[in-house]
Amino acid sequence: MEIDPFIFRLSIFILSIFIGYYVVWSVTPSLHTPLMSVTNAISSVIIIGAIIAALAGESENIFDTANIFGFLAIILAAVNIFGGFLVTQRMLAMYKKKIDKK
Amino acid sequence: MISANLLAVFYLISGVLFILALRGLSSPETSRQGNLFGIIGMFIAISVTIISVGNFSIGFLYLIILMIIGGLVGTFIAFKIPMTAMPELVAGFHSLVGLAAVFVAISAFLNPDVFNLGTKGNIKIASLIEMSLGASIGAITFTGSVIAFLKLRGIMSGSPITFFGQHYLNLMLGLILIGFIYYLCKTQIDTCFWIIIIISFLLGILLIVPIGGADMPVVISMLNSYSGWAAAGIGFTLENTALIITGALVGSSGAILSYIMCKGMNRSFFNVILGGWGVTDQTSSSGSKEQKPIKSGNADDAAFLMKNASSVIIVPGYGMAVAQAQHALREMVDVLKKNGVKVKYAIHPVAGRMPGHMNVLLAEANVPYDEVFELEEINNDFANCDVAYVIGANDVTNPVAKTDPQSPIYGMPILDVEKSKSVLFVKRSLSPGYAGIDNDLFYRDNTLMLFADAKKMTEEIIKNL
């Protein structure tokens, strides 16, 4: 009997939830806002689905409805990726220790 | 073209880099490096996907142009947004992830062969379920975040909107949704898929409207979590490890934040989600209100008290964000420190409108993060402190939470402000806070009310120091 690939993906999923659980509990409360903006940025990795959707199919026929939805998703995800990472960077740059100040 | 195995390895690498990005946030020193890992992970994921599709026709050109446009918009927003607007920014960004998930799901439904999901009208059942779940959670995230955004931005009233039978309506819509997913799997009819998306959009709105302004920290964390689960759903559909790993990480992160926020208010998750806190209490408390004596003072009194204190604890809240008083506050603290006063900041877990909101604002005003303390770390220090300066916080300091079992906030962990020798309470009026209950602290002997805008009062105090 072969194992369904779905089971492998499910295993990855469940184990990642546990990793997420332990990693996020170790995040210091003062960085909870950057945590939200960075998780937002990485969840835009959905852009890879959008890229496949947009570029799939015959090259002459790139403006199928399916492709257009892919292109739309690309714009949305791109806003998020750049916005999310950069705003996180901007916030993190503000966290300073007492000693650095003087 | 690269082989499917190599592609999977690259996706695994970006997944690991994303984990490291979150890991970096365990301390401010490592956080910047962590963010860099996240960026590298994203770059790898996008590049290998483009290479693996291997279509460098005109579509590729559009892809690059659209990414640049989106990137510019994102960059512009990231640099222009004031730190006080962070909650609505995050809510807005969540809505984009949600909508992107919906679009990808639609695209996969319309053109299943490119994702190896079968052919149109004959999609694998498992893929259909994953696709509908991804689309549905994405749609709920989208409209829910839009409502949260409107409420935070003040375009829509922050007060909870409730109506009779609301929860039954939501429950019914949820059941109908499941019914349609089942029906879609049996019949593969297009209309079913569209109806699933429309119901989910509606459900997202209905779920968030009954939740009031001060519960926003829970809502934002929850939507954060949803956007993760939506990404994971799409990840299963597209059989993509990077998406599955990321979705799980983001989903559990948001869930933990929601839990922390609920605990900070001593309320269960369902209690918050079902919404409508304080609606009934407001009428009863205003009806029975008797005139109790309060002491109010001016900036001069406040400056005198603080100058002669040896230790001061600052308690910021949402009012500080509204008044943009964080810079003035830091200047005041600088002057106090020059006079030899020891100053610390105390932050309640649910202060502000999102997790960590106050910390970011203080960091923006150049307050070193090692002067800022969480509730458990600092609560014992109030007893030894001369002055507590409460600026824009209210319910989180209300001693009623410890003394009156009838109170709606009973059991909520509070900052023990009342234990300090004197309390300076900056507030615009005596109106009750979000929970609609009177703050006992106003009428204490050691409390001096400073009726003014948080920023103006702080600036006045600086002048008088």
The pLDDT of residue A10: 93
Say if A19 is an interface residue toward chain B (CB within 8 Å): yes
Nearest-by-Cβ selection for A59 from B57, B89, B104: B57
Using one digit for the tens of pLDDT, what is the confidence trace for B6-17?
Answer: 999 999 999 999
Query: Which phi and psi angles does B343 have, rounded to 5°?
Result: -125, 135
Active-site position among B215, B395, B416, B440: B395
Q: For residue B279, is pLDDT > 50?
A: no
Residue B281 pLDDT level (bands cut at 50, 70, 90) = very low
Q: Which pTM was predicted? A: 0.89
Query: Which phi and psi angles does B52 have, rounded to 5°?
Result: -70, -35
Q: Report helix, strand and coil shares of chain A as percent, to nearest 5.
A: 80, 0, 20
DSSP B411: T
Q: For residue B414, is pLDDT > 70?
A: yes
Using one digit for the tens of pLDDT, what is the confidence trace for B21-60?
Answer: 999 999 988 999 999 999 999 999 999 999 988 777 788 8
- B395 belongs to the catalytic site: yes
| Residue-averaged pLDDT of chain B | 86
In terms of average pLDDT, the best of B14-18, B168-172, B371-375 is B14-18
Say if A69 is an interface residue toward chain B (CB within 8 Å): yes
Q: Which residue of B has its CA nearest to A66?
A: B107
- Cβ neighbours for B12, distance < 8 A, ≥ 6 positions apart: B241, B242, B245
The pLDDT of residue B276: 52
Q: Which residue of A has its CA nearest to B367?
A: A96
Greater pLDDT, B184 or B285: B184
The pLDDT of residue A27: 92
Greater pLDDT, B208 or B282: B208
- Give CB contacts under 8 A, 24+ apart, made by A2-8: A5/B239, A6/B126, A6/B236
For residue B176 the two structure tokens come to 């109908």
Q: Which residue of A has its CA nearest to B21?
A: A38
Using one digit for the tens of pLDDT, what is the confidence trace for B377-404?
Answer: 898 888 888 889 999 888 888 888 888 8
| pLDDT tens, per residue, chain A with 102 residues | 788 888 999 999 999 999 999 999 999 988 999 999 999 999 999 999 999 888 876 656 667 888 889 999 999 999 999 999 999 999 999 887 765 443
Q: Classify burial at B41, counting beta carbons within 10 Å of its beta carbon; exposed 0-12, middle 13-18, buried 19 or more.
A: buried
The pLDDT of residue B156: 82
Three-state secondary structure call for residue B364? helix
Nearest-by-Cβ selection for A65 from B23, B89, B110: B110
The single-letter code of the amino acid at B161 is I
A-chain residues within 8 Å CB-CB of B241? 9, 12
Say if A8 is an interface residue toward chain B (CB within 8 Å): no
Greater pLDDT, B147 or B285: B147
The pLDDT of residue A57: 66
Q: What is the rounded distance in angstroms from the CA atom of residue B256 to the CA atom of residue B199? A: 27
Say if A20 is an interface residue toward chain B (CB within 8 Å): yes
Q: Interhelix angle for A65-92 vs A32-43, to 10°?
A: 160
Give the ipTM: 0.93
Three-state secondary structure call for residue B437? coil
Percent of chain B with pLDDT over 90: 40
Nearest-by-Cβ selection for A40 from B69, B224, B349: B224
The pLDDT of residue B150: 92
Contact A86 B231 (CB under 8 A): no
